[in-house]
Amino acid sequence: DADVTQTPRNRITKTGKRIMLECSQTKGHDRMYWYRQDPGLGLRLIYYSFDVKDINKGEISDGYSVSRQAQAKFSLSLESAIPNQTALYFCATSDRASRGGTQYFGPGTRLLVL
Amino acid sequence: AQSVTQPDIHITVSEGASLELRCNYSYGATPYLFWYVQSPGQGLQLLLKYFSGDTLVQGIKGFEAEFKRSQSSFNLRKPSVHWSDAAEYFCAVAAIYSSASKIIFGSGTRLSIRP
């Protein structure tokens, strides 16, 4: 079984709808991250969480919110989706004890906002 | 500020040929450096990482990378590519002693393999 899972894997929604992307991990890591990937732009950090009570904005947090329900779960919400949020979204985890903070990624969620 | 540049957007090489993917970083101190690979429809998989010590790092799938401080580079190499190496490759840099929130990814290089 995969260590980092994301649901759904694909989602089509309409402008103005609220949607939630979920991430779960069995790696036992304390740190979790949400990125979006756009062609030619690489990965950009949306939010990150160092533990259940520690959530921080990344470089592109506007229009997004997150919830860390447990150490193993980190959800990303789009409160009112807009077309330019169409992208591939990745969840990642890392272990604070890991030198350099190597991150491990889920398979991604492909989101299309019409 | 940290940054990562991958100057080649798309590279095509013949199967069996050697490969070098370029990566340049900007950071004031010794960085942590990573190469990730993303196969079509998949997430990112760690190929290798450099933290300190030997500047030539071996990774999975026969890849290696060399850290050159004088050139601020961390190029990825493979002596003989296979069709299954077709994917997108991302170089990334993290600040040493970082909280791990500051991993910066390059924009990626897409590798195609010519039969």
pLDDT tens-digit series, residues B78-100? 999 999 999 999 999 886 555 55
Spans of chain A, pLDDT less than 70: 1-2, 99-100
Instruction: Report how far apart the first and last C-alpha atoms of chain B are (Å, whole number).
Output: 41
Task: Measure CB to CB from residue B100 to each of A4, A101, A105 and give the nearest one.
Answer: A101
Mutate to test the interface with A, among B49, B101, B107 (most CBs of A within 10 A): B101
Q: Are B3 and B33 in contact (CB under 8 A)?
A: no
pLDDT at A20: 97
Which chain A residues are within 8 Å of B51, Cβ to Cβ? 99-100
Q: Decide if A30 touches B, using CB distance below 8 A.
A: no
Which stretches of chain B sit within 8 Å of chain A by CB? Answer: 4, 9, 32, 34, 36, 41-46, 49, 51, 90, 94, 96, 98-101, 103, 105-108
pLDDT at B51: 85
Spans of chain B, pLDDT less than 70: 95-102
- Tell me which chain B residue has its CA closest to the CA of residue A58: B101
The CA distance from B61 to B81, in Å, is: 10
